[in-house]
Amino acid sequence: MLASPPSTRAVVLQLARFEVRTALRHQLTWVGSLGSLWLMWILGGDVAPILQRDSVYLAGAMLPLAGATLLVTNYSTLRQRRLPDILDSYPSGPSLRILGVQLGVTGPVLLTLLIQTVGLSYLLTGGPIGGIAWWELAVGPVMVALFGVGGVFLGRRLPHPIVAPVVLVGFAFLQLLASPDAQIFSSELGPVANVEWLAPWMMPSAFEPIEDLAARPSELHLGYLAALALVVVTLALPVKGWARLARLAVAGVFVAVLVGISLNLSSEPKSGFDWSEAAAAQPCSVQDGVEYCAFEFYVDWIPRWQETVAAVDAIAPVTITKVMQRPPNIGFDEEGTLETPGLVLANTHWDRVGATPYHRFDLALLAAHSAVGLPTTRQTRLFTKEEIESIVEQNPEAPGDLRAHLESQPPFPQSCSAIGQARAVVAVWLAATALDHGPEAIQSALERLPTANLFRPGYQHFHLPPTSVGRSDAELALGLLARPMADVQAELVSRWQEVVDPATTSADLASWFGLQAPIYPATEFVELPCL
């Protein structure tokens, strides 16, 4: 007696189960998952979580897994083309088999949700501010699904294993060009806002305020990805007769709708956020005679700044009057505002609790600057003759009369050189001593720029430093940090007048502790010494 054929639903479910297992077991899926975890770490691993921004990053971090899913589903579809005679003898027809592969995308999508849950849990345990942007977060799994069904579509319509890698290169390239900060990667301009949403992931600009994220067309972008996935699913299924035309018509309407929406969107983001207004409305609080002002969104960070300054103050009294938050690389203040003596600029980034203290170190170093008599802000002044000569010497091929041009420049904020001054070494030591993992922050900064003659604890998302500190000075500070703190502190207190004297050199300081005098390589730029 012949058994009755299995129902279509049973066949599809069985196929889907098999394809889910295949996709999850595939080596490429694991490589993609590792890539996503790595990207997640790079985008938000050791910075203080800001949930609005990090929701966007959590979605973007799924791009490697999405790429891997495209390859896996593509190969699954191609595999079916290689065994048609065998597969045709089974109850699943071509449509059901393709549907099975498409449903197999569920595996990577579930994996995406798992990875994102891990990422979100990590963020929530890191002292976050802001709220989760669910629409942005949902882009991650939808993007993986889209890439997965895209792989099936490519396997059906362009059946060769090279197509998927070539398409991935194209996607990666378009994604890069769709960045609003495309100038970072090359000198070309980024796209206008009304086409950015057509990229698989809407990369946020590093120069936009968090408040601008609310103005992104997140729901529209998510809907677009979901609709595109449905269209791609339909285009991949084998159909005959009028259904083909209907399918093409759906795709045509979809493209027409996209073009229509893009044409009607603004080419400039309309967030309504204004840095000047927000700065004027900053809430402030005073502690130990120091006023702390933050943008409204970042008010929860004020206690963290206070804690950092207090830690330095506990070792050596600081003389700053105000800590004010400003975004790096964006200027909107009146001339001279940011050069007020006693002012310290905090920026719009901070460190995750327990992570290497890059931003905390930067703030602690500026507080320590005030303790040893170094300036905490850049000073508005003209170029000195030595500086002009130095610049001219370094730029022999500069067009026109560079010297005359520099001499005619009006005064503007500039740093001074604390290289070789004992107090610069003490400031670095103070900042590192005041913080947990302070020596690690110095070591990390030195390793990040191994050939630089200057010590730059801030690298990205930092304000321009008010002083130049030599690499050798930071290395000498590390030497001091290797000694018992109480001994170093006692020695410094007993010689405090010498410490804060600009004429006292790092070599003098080294001799007090029996350390080797630092050696300074010839600097390319001669800067006015800090007084």
Partner 1 sequence: MTLLRRLAPGVPWIPWLPVAGLVGLLAWAITDRPDFASRHLYLRAGLLLAALGLSFAFDDPVAPTTDSVPSPLRLRRLLRAVLSLVPWSLCIAVLVWAGSRDGVDPVLILSSTADRPQLPVGRLILEAGTMAAWGLALASVFAKRWDEEPGKLASVALLAMYAVSWLVPERWTLWALPNGTQWKASHPWWWVAIGLGAMIVTVASWDSRRQRPALRPGRATGHARSPHGVSTADTSDISPESSVQQVVGRPADQPQSLP
Binding site for partner 1 (CB under 8 A): 11, 14-15, 18, 21-22, 26, 28, 31, 71, 75, 78-80, 82-83, 86-87, 89-90, 92, 97, 100, 158, 160-163, 165-170, 172-173, 176, 185-188, 450-451
By beta-carbon proximity to partner 1, the closer residue of 237 and 278 is: 237
For residue 46, the tally of other CB atoms under 10 A from its CB is 14
By beta-carbon proximity to partner 1, the closer residue of 4 and 451 is: 451
Q: How near is the Cβ of 287 to partner 1 at its closest, in Å?
A: 39
Do the strands 412-414 and 379-381 form a parallel or antiparallel pair, or are they unpaired?
antiparallel
Q: How near is the Cβ of 383 to partner 1 at its closest, in Å?
A: 24
With contact defined as beta carbons under 8 Å apart, do 431 and 361 qualify? yes
Q: How near is the Cβ of 34 to partner 1 at its closest, in Å?
A: 11
Q: Which of 326, 322, 498 is nearest to 421 (CA)?
A: 498
Rg of the chain on CA atoms, in Å: 30
By beta-carbon proximity to partner 1, the closer residue of 91 and 260 is: 91
* Greatest alpha-carbon span in the chain: 105
Q: How near is the Cβ of 431 to partner 1 at its closest, in Å?
A: 25
- C-alpha to C-alpha distances, 140 to 34, 64, 125, 460, nearest whole angstrom: 15, 11, 21, 26
Please give the Cα distance from 207 to 181 (Å, whole number): 8
According to DSSP, residue 204 is labeled P
With contact defined as beta carbons under 8 Å apart, do 273 and 209 qualify? yes
Q: How near is the Cβ of 12 to partner 1 at its closest, in Å?
A: 10
By beta-carbon proximity to partner 1, the closer residue of 25 and 385 is: 25
Q: How near is the Cβ of 448 to partner 1 at its closest, in Å?
A: 8
By beta-carbon proximity to partner 1, the closer residue of 84 and 131 is: 84
Please give the Cα distance from 333 to 524 (Å, whole number): 31
Q: How near is the Cβ of 21 to partner 1 at its closest, in Å?
A: 7
CA angle 380, 386, 387 (to 5 degrees): 50
Q: How near is the Cβ of 88 to partner 1 at its closest, in Å?
A: 10
CA angle 441, 442, 445 (to 5 degrees): 85
By beta-carbon proximity to partner 1, the closer residue of 72 and 488 is: 72
By beta-carbon proximity to partner 1, the closer residue of 34 and 239 is: 34
Q: How buried is residue 287: exposed, middle or buried, by Cβ count under 10 Å (0-12/13-18/19+)?
A: middle
Amino acid (1-letter code) at residue 79:
R
- For tokens 């285009």, the residue is 235
By beta-carbon proximity to partner 1, the closer residue of 75 and 383 is: 75
First to last CA, the chain: 102
Which residues lie closer than 8 Å to 515 by C-beta, 6 or more apart? Answer: 476, 479, 480
- What does the H/E/C string look like for 483-510? CCHHHHHHHHHHCHHHHCCCCCEHHHHH
Count of H-run helices and E-run strands, the chain: 24, 8
Please give the Cα distance from 230 to 424 (Å, whole number): 62
Q: How near is the Cβ of 14 to partner 1 at its closest, in Å?
A: 5
By beta-carbon proximity to partner 1, the closer residue of 5 and 514 is: 5
Please give the Cα distance from 454 to 474 (Å, whole number): 9
By beta-carbon proximity to partner 1, the closer residue of 153 and 301 is: 153
Q: How near is the Cβ of 461 to partner 1 at its closest, in Å?
A: 17
What is the three-class DSSP state of 271? coil
By beta-carbon proximity to partner 1, the closer residue of 89 and 264 is: 89
Q: How near is the Cβ of 474 to partner 1 at its closest, in Å?
A: 18
